[in-house]
Structure 1
Amino acid sequence: MGALCAVIAIITVIVPFAAGLALLGTVPTGLLAYRCRLRVLLAATIAAGVIAFLIAGLGGFISVIHSAYIGGLTGVVKRKGRGWPTVVVSSFVAGLVFGAAVVAELAIMVRLRHLIFQVMTANVDGILSFMARVHLQGVAAELKRYFVEGLNYWPWFMLGYTTVAIMIVSLIGWWALSRLLERMGGLPDVHKLEVWDGTAGESAQIAPVPVRFDKVRFRYPNTSDDALREVSLDLRAGEHVAVTGANGSGKTTLMLILAGREPTSGTVERPGAVGLGKMGGTAVVLQHPESQVLGTRVADDVVWGLPPGTETDIEGLLSEVGLDVSVDRDTGSLSGGELQRLALAAALAREPALLIADEVTSMVDQSGRDTLLGLLSELPQRHSTALVHITHFDNEAASADRTISLSTQDSTSMVQTTAPPPPTGAIMPRGRATAIELVDVGHEYNTGTPWAKTALRDINLVVEHGDGVLIHGGNGSGKSTLAWIMAGLTIPTAGACLIDGEPIHEHVGAVALSFQAARLQLMRSNVGLEVASAAGFPRYDERRVIAALGAVGLEPEIADRRIDQLSGGQMRRVVLAGLVARSPRALILDEPLAGLDAPSQRGLLRLLAQLRRERGLTLMVISHDFVGLEEVCPRTVHLRNGALEPLSAATGGMP
């Protein structure tokens, strides 16, 4: 947000006649002041001010300060529920402070003061000259006399001028920005953790376990149902507990309360403070690690936020979680599974007394899952860490000391594991029209730098119309890179990816791509707007929106739901609704089953099989989960180290 403010400030300085855009710079600062603590606004202002000063000089810096003042004033007043009288009083005080600072500056910088007065005099003389031309010589003479007299009392003049100017600008900013903040107030920040440690204050000793829940419930604001139904549990130090349940049963909400969020009802008892993110406190590893990887290098991310002077065996932690990469590797080049391992290493660096792992294996290949499961299972004995493992997998729940189920469903809600299907070959001509063809495709990241990394090499693959192809391989084998190339979003550094004989990047949209994290692909506030936007429908074409939702098995009523009120499975179906409604030539799904319970997986697989069978939709699925994929993807290819495995090598020489 600070960078956004800096960019706006720079534009107002370097682009002619763009000074009016400075008002837009108040939006990010106003949002920060409205939703966060004052220190967040100060940090963003300092960052924005430095950037703007280095690029646009003093003018850019002053523009940032103005945006921070107006946005900060409006955001704080709005957050406290006050109105324009508070703005008037606050801006008057601020005007006096700014005015006194200007007077002190001009008193010290004499030459600057004389230069400013010369500019002001020239401006006044120009106005008076115009007045004389329209026969207002008398009025012009009086104004000239008052102006010269005013310069003799310039400190009072500058103080009054600055105060009035600040008040006017503040009121204009309040009028424009407060309306925007009112609209933003309706956006739920459902997963924000508040600072709460039960009866223990922040200065209390960190001791998150043992912890006891007594009839704990939680309901998110502006909702009519409990997200977490009544739960009573005891968690002891060094205990390994698995938490299972269907999507929407409250597993993530339970995680938030364990991590420090206050329940709606019931009591949570701990011997000390939660210590979220602190040494010896509570560590959380989220399902989507992109949201908690902060460092640009692997080593930076492992030690991010640790107290100064903390000695950390970074390479040992990376080896422990099975992440075989350089400590200097750019985190932006890591795959989803590699990022998951990195997030776990960073959590272990804090030597937590309580570790909460939320679906940490969902993006990891089978070998990696076995490694992580073994590591997690040994944590309570090796580190005396209490482990709460949220999972859908039956074998992961079985490895725990005990299981807490938040679902009323039976064991069929647990996801089964199976070995990957054998490969069937990359090129299997059946006489059907070719949908996508890859010819000697290779791709290298950071080409020409010391950090260059080959992601793909010598890929030859033919996908025919109506085909279903499963692409699987270990984390970092190049699956997601291949998906982005086939969707036309990445241009390969070698070879070509073709559709109708032409490079596919010239036909972006012909092949649709569903991301690993469905939530990152949903950009609108509610389901109806999202589907209409993704499908290219008119905004209020309810008939076509409802038809698109029905095609993916969603009820018409869901069109009015907010995106943040959907379960993981519903989010994936909404993404599919928008993509399929565009009638793409092919559809690529990157880890579509990750994070879904067994019923949701079965429902999604039935839908995909139906779309391929009845509509002839070409499907390419990237997945580490294979149960039930046979009907969706009759063909299978294996990726290893960026290359397609030969059929003979993958099948042990069998034809």
Structure 2
Amino acid sequence: MTATGGQTRRSGRLRPGELAQASVMAALCAATAIIAVVVPFAAALSLLGTVPMGLLAYRYRLRVLITATVAGGIIAFLIAGMGGFMTVINCAYIGGLTGIVKRRGRGTPTVILASLVAGALFGVAVVAALTVLARLRHLIFESVTANIDGVAAVLARFPDMQGAADRLKSDFATALEYWPYVFFGSSILSIAFVSLVGWWALSRVLGRLLGVPDVHKLESSADSAPVAPVPTTLHDVRFRYPTADHDALGPVSMTVEPGEHLAVTGANGSGKTTLMLVLAGREPTAGSVQRPGAVGLGKPGGTAVIMQHPESQVLGTRVADDVVWGLPPGMSTDVHRLLAEVGLDGMAERDTGGLSGGELQRLAVAAALSREPSLLIADEVTSMVDQDGRDGLMAVLSGLTEHHQMSLVHITHYNDEADSADRTVNLSGNGGAADNTEMVETAAAPKATVNSSHRGHAPVLELTDVSHEYGSGTPWATTALRDITFTVNEGDGLLIHGLNGSGKSTLAWIMAGLAEPTSGTCLLDGAPVSDQVGAVALSFQAARLQLMRSRVDLEIASAAGFSYRDRDRVVDALAMVGLDGGLAKRRIDQLSGGQMRRVVLAGLLARAPRAIILDEPLAGLDAASQRGLLRLLEELRRDAGLTVVVISHDFSGLDDLCPRTLHLENGVLMPASTAAGGMA
């Protein structure tokens, strides 16, 4: 499936991308509003709800903002009552006003004028409503009068303040005689004040967010020509991202022929993802791209893209719903046939939240095929799934060009995947003609070599009868781990492997102290690891989620706890993971996936952790980067005594780093003998 975005605002019904954005932002605003109403003294948090609404108003049509407001208001009303509903309305008003004013390049005077008009309209509505609803008016008068009497009583307790207290009550009683003017004026003043506060706060947030370029965003083309993306010919194509000082791609000359299966390979940072963007319609900064018609991104018969992280493109709650999400009105597809083709036969009614990584990727393939694309681009789609999932995906992908009238461009690091293509383009050298990049070798899963009671040097991490259940106590409770017991010793190298969904990532979070087990204990140097968060470093499976700063040097310094002005330490940290010091000033969003992973590792190692847990550390890395990273970790383990735990479904080359191997199956740690027999 593909996403449309950007600031394109067209007339007509909501497009799938707009509807998806409205849904997500409505949920965020509603959640903020509910917290602000339900949690005591949290009303100020309602300002956070203006951020998603402001982004919608800035980037999309007014219709998208209205849709999000209606959806968010209904959710908040059902959970938090009228207070939640009015909070969403307020967030939509402030966010919408700010976003629209910013989009049109206006400033504070426009906000003041708009807020005065809005306040006047609101004031007229309030006066009209209270004129008709007399009983409600009297109730409000009595409530406000009681509050004023309370304030007056407090004032009267102070010396010489009795007169002021009597004057307050007298003046308020007089003001109530002119209540239409009071309510009209207070409406204008309150809305103007709230609008200016919201404008000031949200302007700064939007300024920060808009300053972060979404460089890898797919963009829908405005080309109105008939859809015909292949054959595609690139001639001396170069691409440079905004504010970058070098080309991310090129020069590249290549052709994608109708009906061919083309593999694209190359080292991390060689421009593979950038090439995907160009093939999907991004205009190059130099060179030319020739097609017989429009790219048709996401359109029937056009171009479809399957991304590395399937969670980012699965929108339906049911499998069948996701397959047809965003199809044009009147277009039908045989959902069950497509699901059977990708190996998901009989799963149409399954909840997408319960699918494994490999199943999610197959679902993404089915959703792409529902549009009958002429060009399908698969960007590192197997890097986040286990070997079984990878084999299943490749069985599907390798046969697509035989069963469909389409071209397939598959971006990959794996040698066996590239070998299944009709032709390979390597981006390692200028022009994409080099063939000196080694491909990642696949390997069979290792057997469990040592059972969990292994004892060597002093224990660092000790897990005893650890079990974990998500949604404990609810009808949706799911057991992720059960009775896990093992020890990780000083300087140990331990590989924990298992299929997707076996509980590996949950175990990693518990060992890092970021989650507490439902039962059992996880100790670091004899004390609960949850009380020592940070002492065990954890590298996430999705490296981008761990990068919180805008620039490489800021990220490393923040993670390690020193000043980013200490350039020598930043450069040393980068060198430690095989990155050039020149990357220090690079924006995070200008890095490749493999570079992001190594930047995360640089920040973690620079703070000298007691142990380090690497969740799928080899995913997305080319062969040379994998080899360099493993060599670095082996040296740190051997020479510095670093304790390393690797959780991975990639096994090639891990023998020296991880002499010990444990096997997880359905949340249970298998004994050495059982695992050995099962994995042989």
- 1:234 counterpart = 2:234: no
Deviation at 1:639, TM superposition (A): 3.8
Q: Structure 1 residue 179 and structure 2 residue 204: aligned?
A: yes
Name the residue aligned to 1:58: 82
What is the letter of the counterpart of residue 250 of structure 1?
G
Partners of 1:186 and 1:342 lie apart in 2 by 34
Q: Note if 1:79 corresponds to 2:100.
A: no
Task: Check whether the contact 1:329–1:451 (CA below 8 A) recurs between aligned residues.
Answer: no
Which one of the candidate residues 406, 418, 428 is aligned to 1:397?
Answer: 418
Q: Is the 8 A contact 2:359 2:389 kept in 1?
A: no
Offset at 1:502? 5.3
1:109 maps to what in 2?
Answer: 133
Q: Deviations over 1:32-71 (max 9, x none)?
A: 3234443443333223322332333333322322221122
Between 177-186 and 75-84, report the one with greater CA deviation.
177-186
Q: Using a 3 Å threshold, how does the CA distance of structure 1 residues 139 and 463 change in structure 2: closer, same or farther? A: closer
More off after superposition, 616-625 vs 206-215: 206-215
Equivalent position of 2:382 in the other structure: 361
Q: CA deviation at 1:190?
A: 1.3
Structure 2 gaps of 5+ residues are: 1-24
Which of the residues 271, 292, 310 maps onto 1:289? 310
Mapped pair 1:42 → 2:62: no
> Letter of the aligned partner of 1:223 in structure 2?
A
Give the Cα–Cα distance (whole angstroms) in 2 for the partners of residues 147 and 650 of structure 1.
81
Amino acid at match of 1:81: G
1:595 positional shift: 0.9
Give the TM-score, by structure 1 length: 0.85
- Counterpart of 2:361 (choices 332, 337, 340) is 340
Alpha carbons of 1:117 and 1:521: their partners in 2 closer, same or farther (altered >3 Å)? same
TM-superposed CA distance for 1:646, in Å, is 5.2
Partner of 2:585: 560
Q: Would you say 1:615 and 2:640 are equivalent positions?
A: yes
Match of 1:94 in 2: 118
Aligned match of 1:466: 491
CA distance in structure 2 between the partners assigned to 1:136 and 1:640 by the alignment: 74
CA distance in 2, matches of 1:374, 1:493: 39
Aligned position for 2:17: none
Question: Are 1:386 and 2:411 counterparts?
Answer: no
Partner of 1:220: 241
Asked if residue 29 in structure 1 is aligned to residue 56 in structure 2, the reply is no
The offset of 1:490, in angstroms, is: 4.2
Aligned to 1:67: 91
Equivalents in 1 of 2:518, 2:82: separation in Å? 42
Q: 2:624 aligns with which of 599, 606, 625?
A: 599
User: Given residue 101 of structure 2, which amino acid in structure 1 is its aligned partner?
Assistant: V
Q: CA deviation at 1:389?
A: 0.5
**C-alpha separation in 2, matches of 1:503 and 1:127:** 51
Alignment of 1:481 with 2:506, yes or no, is yes
Q: What is the alpha-carbon distance in structure 1 between the residues aligned to residue 44 and residue 661 of structure 2?
A: 57
* 1:291-440 equivalences in 2 (<5 Å): 291-306=312-327, 317-322=338-343, 330-408=351-429, 409-427=434-452, 429=454, 431-439=456-464
Structure 1 position 534 matched with structure 2 position 559: yes
Determine the C-alpha separation between the residues in 1 that align with 2:183 and 2:677: 86
Counterpart-to-counterpart distance in 1, 2:347 and 2:520? 28
Instruction: Tell me the CA shift for residue 237 of structure 1.
Output: 3.2
CA deviation vs aligned residue, 1:217-276 (integer Å, no higher than 9, x gap): 332222222222243443333221111222122211221233233333444444554443
Superposition deviation, residue 122 in structure 1: 8.0
Note the C-alpha offset of 1:166: 3.5
The answer to whether the Cα contact below 8 Å between 1:197 and 1:272 also exists between their aligned partners in 2 is no
- Aligned AA (2:342): V
State the distance in 2 between where 1:11 and 1:444 align.
Answer: 25
Moved more, 523-532 or 435-444: 435-444
**Aligned-residue offset at 1:16:** 6.2
Report the CA distance between 1:612 and its aligned residue: 0.8
Structure 1 residues 592 and 318, CA gap change in structure 2 (3 angstroms):
farther
CA gap 1:400/1:68 in 2 versus in 1, 3 angstroms: same
Does the Cα contact within 8 Å between 2:470 and 2:477 map onto a contact in 1?
Answer: yes
Instruction: Determine the C-alpha separation between the residues in 1 that align with 2:348 and 2:535.
Output: 39
* Structure 1 residue identity aligned to 2:282: R
Q: How does 1:472-551 map to 2 (within 5 A)?
A: 472-492=497-517, 496-500=521-525, 504-537=529-562, 544-551=569-576
Aligned to 2:282: 261
Percent sequence identity is 66
The residue that corresponds to 2:15 in the other structure is none
* Kept after mapping to 2: 8 A contact 1:212/1:233: yes
Query: Kindly tell me: are residues 232 and 428 of structure 1, through their superposed partners in 2, closer, same or farther at Cα, counting changes over 3 Å?
Result: same
Identify which range, 524-533 or 419-428, moves more after superposition.
419-428
Quick one: which amino acid aligns to residue 391 of structure 1? T
Greater mean deviation of Cα atoms: 293-302 or 238-247: 293-302
Q: Report the TM-score, using the length of structure 2 for normalisation.
A: 0.82
8 A Cα contact 1:426 1:462, kept in partner: no
SS at match of 1:43: helix
Moved more, 270-279 or 75-84: 270-279
Q: In 2, Cα distance between the equivalents of 1:15 and 1:628?
A: 51
Deviation, structure 1 residue 359? 0.5
Q: Which amino acid aligns with 1:345?
A: A
- 1:422 offset after TM fit, Å? 4.4
Q: How many Å apart are 1:608 and its aligned residue? A: 0.9
Match of 1:198 among 214, 223, 241: 223
Distance 1:432 1:117, change over 3 A: closer
* Higher mean displacement: 78-87 or 103-112: 103-112
- Is this contact kept in 2: 1:198–1:268, CA < 8 A? no
Change beyond 3 A, Cα 1:639–1:168 = closer
Partner amino acid for 1:77? Answer: V
Q: Please report the RMSD computed on the Cα atoms of aligned residues, expressed in angstroms.
A: 4.0
Q: 1:520 to 1:176 in 2, by over 3 A?
A: closer
Give 1:523's aligned amino acid: M
How many equivalent pairs are there? 647
* Mapped partners of 1:454, 1:637: distance in 2: 19
Kindly indicate whether the alpha-carbon contact (under 8 Å) linking 2:615 and 2:646 is maintained by their aligned counterparts in 1. yes
| CA positional deviation for 1:147 | 7.0
Deviation at 1:435, TM superposition (A): 2.9
Aligned: 1:5 with 2:5: no
**How many angstroms does 1:563 deviate by?**
1.8
Structure 1 residue ranges without an equivalent (≥5): none
Amino acid at match of 2:509: W
* Aligned twin of 2:21: none
Query: Is the CA contact (8 Å cut-off) linking 2:452 and 2:671 kept in structure 1?
Result: no
Counterpart pick for 1:244 among 265, 269, 272: 265
Compute the displacement of 1:470 (Å): 2.5
**C-alpha separation between the residues in 1 aligned to 2:658 and 2:595?**
22
Cα deviation for residue 114 of structure 1 reads 5.0
**Rounded Cα–Cα distance in structure 2 between residues aligned with 1:138 and 1:346:** 71
Shift of the 627–570 alpha-carbon distance from structure 1 to 2, 3 Å rule, reads same
Per-residue deviation, 1:623: 2.7
CA distance in 2, matches of 1:374, 1:146: 79
Write the distance in 1 (CA, Å) between the matches of 2:176 and 2:612: 72
Deviation at 1:390, TM superposition (A): 0.7
Deviations 1:99-141 (A, max 9, x none): 4433443454344345556667888999999999659999999
Find the aligned partners of 1:543 and 1:215 in 2 and give their Cα distance.
38
Q: What is the alpha-carbon distance in structure 1 between the residues aligned to residue 191 and residue 638 of structure 2?
A: 67
